[in-house]
Amino acid sequence: MRGARPGSKTRVQVRRVHPDRVEVRSDFVATEEPLEIRLVAGSERRTLAVTMRTPGNDFELAAGFLFAEGIVGDRCEVAQISYCQDPELDSEQQYNVVTVVLRRERLPDLRPVERHFTTTSACGVCGKASLEALRLSGCGPLPPGPQLDPAVLRALPDRLRTAQGLFAATGGLHAAAYFDPAGRLVAVREDVGRHNAMDKLVGWAFLESKLPLHEGIVLVSGRASFELVQKAVLAGLPVFCAVSAPSSLAVEVARAFGVTLIGFLRGDRFNVYSGEGRVRWPSRASASTARA
C-alpha cells in the first residue's frame, strides 16, 4: 500500500537569533528530493535522468524535460505518465520515480541526451549546452507575437509574487509563470531548481496540448540563463522576462531566435536586450546612450 506522497514544504526547528534573545520555533523549508525519470517503449525501459526537485507537478516536470531534450514533440507521443509501481521500492520512494510510456515499440536514440547522474537543484537537468545544438534541433526565428504595453510588463513581478504560495511559506523557491498579452496570469510553477520550475511550466503546456506558446509571456523569478531561454525558444515563447540579469549567451540565443529578452524587471524600470520591436514605446520616449 502506498504511503503519503512527499509534500512541497517540510517543517523544521530553527533558532531565530535576535539582538537580545534566541527564540526556538518551527519553520518551513522547501522540500528537496530526487526524482528519477524512467522511459518505456514496448519492452524497452531506461532510466533517463535523476534531478533534485521540489515534489509537486512531477508529471509536468518529466514531460517538460522530455520535450526540452527533443525526446517527444507532441502530446500524442506519450501514452501514460505514472508514479512507479516497483514492489522493490518502499511506498514513499515510489513517489520519487516517474515512468513515462511512449507510443512506440522501441526507445529513441538517447545517446545525445543521456544523463546517468544526479544533478543538483541549482543546475537542474540542463539542456544541450551550445547555440549550434539549438539551431540543429530545427528551431527557427519565432513569429511576431504580441505587442506589449510597458505598464503590463511592470505589473508582472507583483502578480507573480502574489501567486507564489510556496515561496511565501518557505522563502526558498524559484518560479516560472506564463501570462497572456494583457498580463493575466495563466499558470505558475515553483521548484527549488529554476530549470525544474521552467520544465514544469512547459510540461503543463505540453500535457494540455497548448504548445507552441506563440502569444504569451514567461517571467522567471531569478536570472535569465542560456538554458532557460533555450527552453523558451523550444516552447515557442516570444517574450522572456526575468527579475534579475541575463547571461551573455542568453542574450545571444534571444537575438538569434527573435525572442524579446527583458531583464531587471523591477519597480518601474526594465532593460530590453533583444526583440525591442514587441514593446510599445511611448511616443515621447527617447533613447540616450551613456558612455562607460
Alpha helices in the chain (DSSP H): 58-68, 91-94, 131-136, 150-163, 165-170, 194-207, 226-234, 248-257
Amino acid identity of residue 227, one-letter, is: E
C-alpha cell at 133: 545544438
123 counts as catalytic: yes
C-alpha cell at 222: 531569478
Cα(209)–Cα(102) distance, rounded to whole angstroms?
16
**Residues facing residue 27 across a β-bridge:** 12
Return the DSSP state at 148. B
> In terms of DSSP bridges, do strands 78-83 and 22-30 run parallel, antiparallel, or are they unpaired?
unpaired
Cα(177)–Cα(186) distance, rounded to whole angstroms?
8
> Is 51 in contact with 124 (CB distance < 8 Å)?
yes
Task: Beginning with the edge strand found earlier in the chain, give each strand of the sheet holding 174-179 in spatial order.
Answer: 185-191, 174-179, 217-220, 239-242, 260-266, 269-274
The active-site residue, picked from 123, 126, 139, 241, is: 123
Cα(255)–Cα(141) distance, rounded to whole angstroms?
9
- What positions carry a catalytic annotation? 123
